[in-house]
Chains A and B, each alone.
Chain A
Amino acid sequence: MTNGYHIVVCGSIVPDPLQTLEPVSTSTGPALKNETMLPAILDPWAAHALYEAADLATRFPGSKVWLVSVGPKAKLQQVMMTIAQKVSFEFVPVDASASGFSDAHSSAAILAETIQGIPGLDRSRLLIFGGWESASRGAGATMQLVGERLAILDQFQGVDTLNVQDDGSFEVLERIEGGRHQVSVCPGPPALFGWATGHLPEPRNNPQVGMANMRTVMPALQRAKSVPIQAGGLHYLSASLPKQQRQTRVVKDLSAEQVAYEIAEWIRK
């Protein structure tokens, strides 16, 4: 049986989904207009990964959760004000751009290097968690690249379920086409899991957890290394908003029967 897991969650920050996003050109490539002013949240899939990590850690005494997050310090601090109240973790911030236009290879290199620098991390108990994609770049590449850099060959993406079985092995359900799941069995750590939504609801804010976390979050933010993200040979030729704007026909004066008939005809065509 396990003495608990060392779970490292990789989670970046993204603009609040309700914000309007507009690209602008900068000397280093595209960026978001007023990016520093946009309120940020923890990337939704990474947040699911964090909640699953915390849940797993609760069920297996001796476990510990680290949250490794790359983003501008001020934004990370803003996001931590809410996330730190949800679950217990040790925060490992890296002060760097969280732009969706940055290169996944460069982001992965920073993440992997940061994880390798966490003191006391035990590879025989190591689980790397993260979102399978982000709401910024949305490439589904970063976690794989982190896994490769850490020489982890048991990788799973689009994970919705991770069951620890009696013998310590993991039963993993990954999303595949057609609303189905592939079921795999992995004998144990080290392994990497790119989470989809999982099954856990968002934990309620717990001020006590928040106070405990913030004791380490603020010093960690002050110590955070500032790192440039390399372009990695990636060139943007353009970045633009979609031009398609539909001329919506608003139909207010038809009966339910007439609407149904019109929709049925439209479906049939």
Chain B
Amino acid sequence: MVNSILFLAHVSESGGTLPKTAYEVLGVALKLSQQTGARLTIGLIGSNLEAAAETIAAAGAGRILAVTGPDFATARYASDAAAAEAVCRAAQAELILAPATSRFMRVLAGVAHRLNGCVDTHVTSLEAVDGEVQATRWYYRQRIEGVIRRDVRPWIVSLESGCGAPWVNPASTGAPAKTEIEEIPLTLSDVARRTVVAGIHAPKSDAQTIRPDAKLLFVAGAGWTKKQSDGKPHVDQAETLILEFLRNSGASLGGSKSLVDLSGESQAVLGFMTHLNQVGQTGSTPRHPKGLSTCCHGEEPHVVGWRFINERRAVNLDPNCGWARGKADVLYVADAFEVMTKLNALLSERSRSQPIPEVAAQLV
């Protein structure tokens, strides 16, 4: 039984809104609140919250609490944990729902400890069954799905993107809603200010191969760097083909562990492929509607990273590879070098006549 729910969020990097996932979590919080009759409170953290708070003011929460100020502009453990703790204590909520952003993933467990509560992260669904809240999450890197409940309160739950439909103001007139924010005063100690966030390192826009919002995940396997039919590797050609495909399709690039590990083994590597691209058991589990795998065997440790890829196709020379065993919808037994050359030509021709919006935006 839950009597009170806190939806906890931080402002996005741009400052004027909340992260996209936060609106999905707000949708879940509202649904749970309606199902259980629990009162809903919104808690916000950030430097300047007004604009972000206006976007959710009409959600129907009883209160909007906030910790704000320059100290809370950036993602730093000590300040974010203190802010989240202050909001949670003020809200006195039994269930605290938050988006699984990198900023919150860094602090929520610590906050749970300070509140004598508990935390569950990477939750993919939250439901009220007979008044009892049940959370679903994955174990052993997306290999086993578990449904849990907790006795301890407060229970902090961080929800993954795609956990529900984002909340949209049904009666929006376009004008900002009036918000009454209860600010919680919080002064940080010098110890909490020791660490200073100096900035963000991002690849140049034309070198950015990880695109979380892309509709397609393109995965390159170690086969791209192996000897081809002429007995020689063609890594340069592979790089050109893959980068051209990413430009033409707007896809996000993933790699198998065996490919990204090659750099540590002094073998020929794709220069733009790093551990950040790695998908699978020891890499990431990205969320895209479609995924295309090339030159990758589709072994289980890699494919667990595809858990949230809906439509899957693969190109591989081996008709008995892992993808053929129920892991892809379609397996093309073909030479990826030849297929990608033709595919790039097709996409290039189409994008000239009908540019893909996200690709066109990158070219501006």
A233/B203 in contact, CB under 8 A: no
Say if the beta carbon of A120 comes within 8 Å of chain B. Answer: no
Q: Is the interface of B mostly helix, strand, loop or mixed?
A: mixed
Chain A 79-102, CB within 8 Å of chain B: the 1/0 string?
000000000000000000000110
Q: How large is the interface on A (under 10, 10 to 19, 20 to 34, 35 or more residues)?
A: 35 or more
A235 touching B151 in the complex, CB below 8 Å, given contacts A179-B277, A180-B201: yes
A248 near B148 with CB under 8 A, answer no
Q: Is A173 part of the binding interface, using a Cβ–Cβ cutoff of 8 Å?
A: yes
Whole-angstrom CA separation of A251 from B329 in the bound complex: 11
> Could you tell me the distance in whole angstroms from the C-beta of B219 to the nearest C-beta in chain A?
13
A142 to chain B, nearest CB (A): 8
Does B334 sit at the interface, judged by CB under 8 A?
yes
A219 at the interface (CB under 8 A from B): no
Asked whether A247 and B203 contact (CB < 8 A) given A21-B144, A104-B109, A254-B332, the answer is no
Q: A228 on the interface (CB 8 Å rule)?
A: no
User: Would A248 and B331 count as touching, CB distance under 8 A?
Assistant: yes
Are A18 and B202 in contact (CB-based, < 8 A)? no
Task: Give the docked Cα–Cα distance between A206 and B163 (Å).
Answer: 47
Which residues of B92-108 have CB atoms within 8 Å of chain A's CB atoms? 101-103, 105-108
- For the complex, give the distance between the alpha carbons of A112 and B197 in Å: 27
B265 touching A201 by the CB < 8 A rule? yes
Mask, A239-269, CB within 8 Å of B = 1, is: 1111001111111101011011111101110
| A144 engages B109 (CB within 8 Å) | yes
Q: Is there contact, CB below 8 Å, between B346 and A264?
A: yes
Q: Contact residues of A with B, CB < 8 Å?
A: 14-15, 17-18, 20-21, 23, 30, 32, 44-45, 100-101, 103-105, 108, 135-142, 144-145, 147-149, 153-158, 160, 171, 173-187, 196-197, 200-202, 232-242, 245-252, 254, 256-257, 259-264, 266-268
A18 CB contact (under 8 Å) in B300, B311, B315: B300
In angstroms, Cα B165 to Cα A179, docked, is 25
Further contacts, 7 of them, CB under 8 A, given A17-B301, A250-B333, A263-B292:
A30-B146, A100-B144, A135-B281, A177-B102, A184-B195, A232-B118, A260-B345
How many residues on B have C-beta within 8 angstroms of the other chain's C-beta atoms?
101
A251 to B333: give the CA distance in the assembly, Å: 6
Q: Are the CB atoms of A249 and B329 closer together than 8 Å?
A: yes
Q: How long is the Cα–Cα vector from A216 to B17 in the complex, in angstroms?
A: 55
* Contacts of B1-19 to chain A: CB distance below 8 A: none
Instruction: Flag whether B338 is at the interface (Cβ < 8 A).
Output: yes
Contact B120 A246 (CB under 8 A): no
Closest to B343 in A: A260
Give the docked Cα–Cα distance between A252 and B333 (Å): 5
Which chain B residues lie closer than 8 Å to A233 at the CB level? Answer: 118, 150-152
Q: Which residue on B lies nearest to A233, using beta carbons?
A: B151
